Structure 1
Amino acid sequence: MKKNFALIGAAGYIAPRHMKAIKETGNELVAVLDRCDSVGIIDSYFPNADFFVEFERFDRFVDKWHREHEKRIEYVSICSPNYLHDAHIRFALRSGADAICEKPLVLNPWNIDALDVIEEETGKRVYNILQLRLHPSIVALKERVASELKRNPQKRYTIDLTYLTSRGKWYFISWKGDESKSGGIATNIGVHFYDMLTWIFGKVEESVVHLKTPYANAGSLRLAHADVRWFLSVKYDYIPEEVKAKGQRTYRSITVDGEEIEFSGGFTDLHTRSYEEILAGRGFGLQEARPSIEIVSSIRSAKPVGRVGEYHPFCRKVENV
């Protein structure tokens, strides 16, 4: 049966992927909330959806809609700024809907603890979009690692994670440049990578932060079965010259024991795949999201140690560290 959705946050980069997923899974978007009204993209998917710029009117609509139609809005999809995810998930659960939330699910582990209680009270579920767990290359890597660890449980992997996605001056004026709202660079652009790594290589045994600047974060993780060096940045200057020469402003690389894992493609339908899994009762919930949230929360509070020990080689690109 067709399900009814509401959407919180429609003007950002990721919201169209959610609209597309709702459409492609054969469901209906009933209501949309965004304080910005530059949301003409809605017409491409659900031109008849009711639209609100004020939360109070959106809240009233959601409450009245099921009373007048004798059917509830079953899901609320959340694409709002990171610091509002927790409040918007709570709204969804209290409204009798399951929540489908973009990453990061929340900013801190204790937010998950509270949401766990509200799930129990309401009988509704919280789902997090962790689309790398559905990427064919990442699934193949997990299967390979599981097979190798079955043969040799003591095996340890060496991993370098490098992700640079250039951002202009607007980034630091927007909420994304405010650590109290975005959680900082590691949270905003890295949380799904930490989820992927712990999903494949096991829980965190040690986390070290080598540097934190407004433009870059770097550190290392000792996981149950891997040693990871990671570097994340939004600064164009740090992108390798050969990548710049191609006119590209993003560089993504994951090597496992020196072997590059190719996963640059295959992203276009992962939100639809995520929705399919959620609608089939196989979505990723609070506890699946917890390890990556614990990692980014600890990074946020950690004191950088500088360029000592096993630091990522891109740290040498960063000035005054």
Structure 2
Amino acid sequence: MPTQTELSRPDRRIGMIGAGFMARTHSIAARLAGARLDAIAASTDASATRAATEYGYERALAADELIAARLPLVHVCTPNPSHVSYARAAIRAGAHVICEKPLATNAADALALAAEADEAGRPGAVPFVYRYHPMVREARARIAAGEAGAVLTVSGRYLQDWMLAAEDDNWRVGVDTGGPSRAFADIGSHLVDLVEFVSGDRISRLVATTRTVHPERGGHTVQTEDSVALAVELAGGGIGTLLVSQVAPGRKNGLVLEISGARETLCFEQEDPERLWVGRRGHSLLLRRDTDTLAPDAARLSKVPSGHAQGYQDAFNSFVDDAYAVVRGEHREGLPTFADGARAAVITDAVLASAASGSWVEVSGA
């Protein structure tokens, strides 16, 4: 199979801890980036063996065996509370790590892990992959170049319906198995990452409210939120509103970000990722992905000819390709590192604190 790039280092082996949907997505991207799929670990020997056959790994191991194998790069795609322990163990064994979000289930652990990775010279990567849609990069470039003007307002939403019914259940629901935040940590983290990445600004304070629609799921009391609404202030003076829900009927992956500057508004919709709406007072434009007109950073992520749709897996492939390039010592613009994962955890903690107190909360500068 042709690859986007080949890892230049002699040892191209990777390990995968986890065997679910995200492990499959990572594995596809890793193969395209030229990795050798060496070993995979899962919660049971049977799951690891099944995943090794299905995803194309050479061997199935227990997680501690995989860490001890001292592979040069390890992907962590396990349930949330185990991210820190697996990522830290892999780093201490000498590996570079790509870790699923949330990086940790609280800000303190995420910040500590990011600091340790940075000190080890392996800053890691967290798959905030919506950064890798070319039209997201186009919006970012227009704001950075001053075309949109100073950011005045932001509005965004990330809506899904997979937890709509009371009988819908998942390991993420439990605090012990998923962490204290569900909807925001799972998908709201993507939204706030895009707000800060595209705008080039930071959320300085926020006020949030949460709602748990179903008090019980699967016979267990639900302690995590189904939806979150928040107002935000940016350090540069902009203000905004964000809505996150996993109980919005008919919405499958409705991530929308709209940023209004003093001269133009930019709107990106993840379910229609090939276009960017640009609104001006006298007229509006609908920009399609076209390498002849895109900013250079957007054009480099355009992997297929214009008019042929790119989607989620393409964005994920580009993210992993960039992560591997950075491991080789190259610079790749916009790669989300453990520092970005820690930033999302800081904002998640602020959301939970605000929802509990009913008041505005300052967001630290981490």
Normalised by the size of structure 1, how large is the TM-score?
Answer: 0.77
2:319 and 2:143 map into 1 onto residues whose CA distance is 23
Q: Does 1:23 align with 2:31?
A: yes
Q: Does 1:6 align with 2:23?
A: no
Displacement after TM superposition at 1:2 (Å): 5.0
1:141 is aligned, of 134, 139, 161, to 139
Q: Does 1:128 align with 2:138?
A: no
Does the 8 A contact of 2:156 with 2:255 survive in 1?
no
Give the partner amino acid of 1:161. Answer: R
1:47 and 1:119 map into 2 onto residues whose CA distance is 26
Displacement after TM superposition at 1:38 (Å): 4.3
Does the 8 A contact of 1:93 with 1:119 survive in 2?
yes
Q: Within 5 A, what are the aligned runs for 1:41-190? A: 41-48=51-58, 50-52=59-61, 57-63=62-68, 65=69, 72-119=70-117, 122-148=120-146, 152-153=149-150, 155-167=151-163, 172=169, 174-180=170-176, 181-182=178-179, 183-190=181-188
Displacement after TM superposition at 1:163 (Å): 1.9
Gaps of 5+ in 2: 1-9, 213-224, 274-310, 327-331, 361-366
Q: Within 5 A, what are the aligned runs for 1:287-302? A: 287-302=339-354
Displacement after TM superposition at 1:5 (Å): 0.8
- Change in CA separation of 1:83 and 1:107 when aligned onto 2, cut-off 3 Å: same
Hey, which bits of structure 1, 4+ residues long, moved more than 6 A? none
Could you say which residue in structure 1 is the equivalent of 2:355? 303
Does the 8 A contact of 2:73 with 2:96 survive in 1?
yes
1:229 is aligned, of 238, 241, 248, to 241
Give the partner amino acid of 1:92. Answer: A
Does the 8 A contact of 1:220 with 1:230 survive in 2?
yes
Give the partner amino acid of 1:29. Answer: L
Which structure shows the bigger proportion of residues in helix conformation? 1
Does the 8 A contact of 1:2 with 1:26 survive in 2?
no
Displacement after TM superposition at 1:267 (Å): 1.4
1:233 and 1:304 map into 2 onto residues whose CA distance is 18
**Cα RMSD after superposing both structures:** 2.8
Task: Name which of structure 1's ranges 297-306 and 87-96 shifts more when overlaid on structure 2.
Answer: 297-306
Could you say what secondary structure the match of 1:269 adopts?
Answer: helix
Does the 8 A contact of 2:38 with 2:57 survive in 1?
no
- Change in CA separation of 1:255 and 1:88 when aligned onto 2, cut-off 3 Å: same
Displacement after TM superposition at 1:287 (Å): 2.1
Give the partner amino acid of 2:313. Answer: T
Does the 8 A contact of 2:42 with 2:63 survive in 1?
no
Displacement after TM superposition at 1:263 (Å): 2.8
Give deviations 1:130-149, integer Å, cap 9, x for gaps.
21222111111111222237
Gaps of 5+ in 1: 66-71, 310-321
- Change in CA separation of 1:26 and 1:162 when aligned onto 2, cut-off 3 Å: closer
Give the partner amino acid of 2:29. Answer: A
Task: Name which of structure 1's ranges 216-225 and 160-169 shifts more when overlaid on structure 2.
Answer: 160-169
Could you say which residue in structure 1 is the equivalent of 2:322? 277
Displacement after TM superposition at 1:156 (Å): 1.0
Q: Does 1:262 align with 2:269?
A: yes
Does the 8 A contact of 2:17 with 2:63 survive in 1?
no
Does the 8 A contact of 2:158 with 2:191 survive in 1?
no
Q: How many residues align?
A: 283
Could you say what secondary structure the match of 2:312 adopts?
Answer: coil
1:199 and 1:209 map into 2 onto residues whose CA distance is 21
2:84 and 2:95 map into 1 onto residues whose CA distance is 15
Could you say what secondary structure the match of 1:261 adopts?
Answer: strand
2:167 and 2:267 map into 1 onto residues whose CA distance is 32
Could you say what secondary structure the match of 1:156 adopts?
Answer: strand
